[in-house]
């Protein structure tokens, strides 16, 4: 396994990280625990979850899976998206974050998290309130590093500026949708992260399976796939993305690797990317993606993939999660 610094911090994370939003829903408890433990055995040390994944079941299951192995893991969770119908059950106010962190720690069976991330910007809470609350968590030993998710570039820069001005702990990472089928972070966010030393953690790195070659047309939907279980996903299966998926399959076959491994490797070769999180509902899925860590792309291969995916630099993001204004 390859390990990289998370941004400019001293924390080392595996180039391939484990995403767990399916734990407790699309993957049952037994399967999820097995995936976590086998991932650790293969050198993956970054595990990402959130307080809302599978109705908090993801955190609870991870807590069980890490019993006796907590010291092997860089454990990341998030808060900020909607938890309930109450007026304070969302956002990044001090009130909400403190409550959610304490609940997450109980479910995760730990007294600290390595990376605590704001799941999305809260338009109703001042930046300084959020950043001071996070700084207090770090000083209390409940959190080691802080990160953002789903921030626009200007929002991230504003947060970093406030932290600098006020002497507060600053974000070391940002999670964002980023893949061959979504290169929207590149014009603004990537240069910002390179300049400010913020590590990028891509989610949806395989565009929901489009970059694995499993979808060949809008009408040919594999049983059990994301598009099969969630018909709304079909809106992503436009001609341009399907064409990109076929080109990735062509290049992968020529190189003798899987399309998924090729797509993940492309991301790992991109500047500012610290760790790429991939989800799994079966160990075999994750095992196949581990191939990506050993795939080395030649400059001409990177150029070809860049050319094929150029239309996705200035399109709408594949995914972004925001609170209502």
Q: Which of 96, 105, 103 is nearest to 124 (CA)?
A: 96
Q: Which of 38, 104, 49, 102 is nearest to 74 (CA)?
A: 49
Rounded distance between C-alpha atoms, residue 208 and residue 224, angstroms: 13
Question: Which tokens hold the place of 95?
Answer: 């009130």
Q: Which helix (H) or strand (E) holds 35?
A: helix 29-41
Residue carrying structure tokens 């799994």:
280
Torsion angles phi and psi, residue 242, rounded to 5:
-65, -40
Rounded distance between C-alpha atoms, residue 126 and residue 138, angstroms: 19
Rg (C-alpha) for the chain, rounded Å, is 19
| Catalytic hit among 3, 53, 203, 321 | 53
- String of DSSP letters for 305-323: HHHHHGGGSSS--S-----
Our answer to whether residue 321 is catalytic in this structure is: no
In this structure, the chain runs to a length of 325
Burial track 161-197 (b if 16+ CB lie within 10 A, e otherwise) = ebbeeeebbbbbbbbbbbbbbbbbbbeebbebbeebe
Rounded distance between C-alpha atoms, residue 321 and residue 316, angstroms: 13
Rounded distance between C-alpha atoms, residue 187 and residue 63, angstroms: 38
**Residues designated as active site:** 53
């Amino acid at each position: 396994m390859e390990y990289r610094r998370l941004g400019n911090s001293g924390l080392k994370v595996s180039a391939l990280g484990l995403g767990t939003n399916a734990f407790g829903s699309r993957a049952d408890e037994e399967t999820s625990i097995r995936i976590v433990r086998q991932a650790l055995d293969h050198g993956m040390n970054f595990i990402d979850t959130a307080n809302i994944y599978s109705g908090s079941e993801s955190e609870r299951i991870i807590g069980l899976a890490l019993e006796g192995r907590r010291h092997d893991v860089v454990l990341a969770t998030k808060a900020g998206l909607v938890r309930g119908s109450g007026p304070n059950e969302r956002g990044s106010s001090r009130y909400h974050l403190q409550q959610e962190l304490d609940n997450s720690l109980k479910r995760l069976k730990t007294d600290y998290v390595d990376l605590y991330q704001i799941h999305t910007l809260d338009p109703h809470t001042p930046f300084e309130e959020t950043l001071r609350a996070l700084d207090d968590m770090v000083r209390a030993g409940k959190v080691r590093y802080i990160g953002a998710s789903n921030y626009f570039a200007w929002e991230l820069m504003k947060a970093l500026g406030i932290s600098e001005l006020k002497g507060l702990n600053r974000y070391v990472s940002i999670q964002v949708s980023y893949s061959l089928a979504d290169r929207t972070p590149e014009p603004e966010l990537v240069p910002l992260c390179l300049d400010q030393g913020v590590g990028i953690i891509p989610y949806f790195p395989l565009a929901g399976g489009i970059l694995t070659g499993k979808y060949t047309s809008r009408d040919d939907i594999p049983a059990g796939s994301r598009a099969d279980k969630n018909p709304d996903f079909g809106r992503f299966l436009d001609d341009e993305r399907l064409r990109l998926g076929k080109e990735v399959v062509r290049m992968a076959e020529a190189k003798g690797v899987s399309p998924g491994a090729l797509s993940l490797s492309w991301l790992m070769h991109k500047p500012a990317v610290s760790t790429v999180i991939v989800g799994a509902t079966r160990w075999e899925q994750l095992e196949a993606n581990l191939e990506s860590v050993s795939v080395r792309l030649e400059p001409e291969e990177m150029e070809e993939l860049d050319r094929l995916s150029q239309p996705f630099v200035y399109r709408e993001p594949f995914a972004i999660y925001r609170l209502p204004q």
